[in-house]
């Protein structure tokens, strides 16, 4: 009878340990996502000022500027990680177009506000990269844990599901074509 009680106690302790482990890993994923969300918000906050300054110098490029503003709104309305990743990839492409336009306008390229915004955006992009890395590592650890034994039993019992990575699009993986 003592062995039965000790076995039940061991099973309960394993369940409690695994449950707490999954809670911790899930919270790390949530924390990672929060970091990405903060950086994306900072990036989206810089876009209107960047567009306003660029539009002042390059008045006939309105289509590009309105598209970036539209993409910003679309990203703010994204419902899940996959939609947000697509929207943010499109924003990155739009911002690259704005910086390409800036190359054609020396006045814009030398504007102190524009330079400051570029620097801020560069810092945000670097911070966003770190946040993505942290989030994806947390998702990896969580996803591994929910498929390992005995955690899989606890994960299934508690309804834990696999989480999505924050990935870049195929177009962002391609090499940049530089022509001289």
Question: Residue 129 belongs to a domain with what CATH number?
Answer: 1.20.1440.20
Report the C-alpha gap between 120 and 175 in whole angstroms.
25
Q: Could you list the residue range(s) of the whole structural domain that residue 28 is in?
A: 18-173
Please report, rounded to a whole number, the percentage of residues in the chain having pLDDT higher than 70: 89
Q: Give me the number of domains the chain comprises.
A: 1
Other C-beta atoms lying within 10 Å of the C-beta of residue 141: 15
Q: Which residue has the higher pLDDT, 114 or 176?
A: 114
Tell me the two tokens of residue 74: 């679309």
Other C-beta atoms lying within 10 Å of the C-beta of residue 32: 22
Query: Does residue 7 lie in a domain region?
Result: no
Average pLDDT of the chain, as a whole number: 81
Query: Does residue 113 lie in a domain region?
Result: yes
Query: Does residue 110 lie in a domain region?
Result: yes
Query: Does residue 180 lie in a domain region?
Result: no
3-state helix, strand and coil shares in percent for the chain, rounded to the nearest 5 = 85, 0, 15
Query: Does residue 121 lie in a domain region?
Result: yes
Would you state the pLDDT for residue 59? 67
Residue tagged 């996959």 (tokens): 82
| Global confidence as pTM | 0.73
Minimal CA–CA distance to 43: which of 21, 23, 70, 72?
A: 72
Query: Does residue 2 lie in a domain region?
Result: no
Query: Does residue 179 lie in a domain region?
Result: no
pLDDT band at 26 (very low <50, low <70, confident <90, very high): very high
Query: Does residue 4 lie in a domain region?
Result: no
Of 61-65, 131-135, 142-146, 166-170, where does mean pLDDT reach its minimum?
166-170
Tell me the two tokens of residue 161: 């599901």
- Answer yes or no: is pLDDT of 34 > 70: yes
pLDDT band at 24 (very low <50, low <70, confident <90, very high): very high
């Amino acid at each position: 009878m003592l062995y039965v009680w000790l076995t039940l106690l061991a099973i309960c302790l394993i369940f409690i340990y695994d449950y707490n482990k999954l809670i911790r890993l899930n919270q790390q994923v949530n924390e990672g996502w929060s970091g990405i969300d903060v950086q994306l918000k900072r990036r989206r906050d810089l876009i209107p000022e960047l567009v306003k300054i660029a539009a002042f110098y390059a008045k006939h490029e309105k289509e590009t500027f309105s598209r970036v503003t539209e993409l910003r709104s679309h990203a703010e309305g994204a419902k899940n990680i996959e939609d947000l990743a697509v929207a943010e990839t499109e924003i990155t492409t739009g911002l690259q177009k704005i910086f390409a336009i800036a190359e054609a306008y020396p006045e814009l390229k030398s504007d102190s506000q524009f330079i400051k915004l570029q620097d801020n955006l560069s810092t945000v992009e670097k911070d966003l990269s770190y946040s993505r890395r942290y989030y994806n590592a947390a998702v990896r650890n969580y996803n591994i844990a929910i498929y390992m034994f005995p955690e899989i039993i606890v994960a299934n019992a508690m309804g834990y599901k696999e989480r999505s990575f924050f990935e870049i699009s195929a177009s962002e993986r391609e090499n940049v074509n530089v022509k001289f």
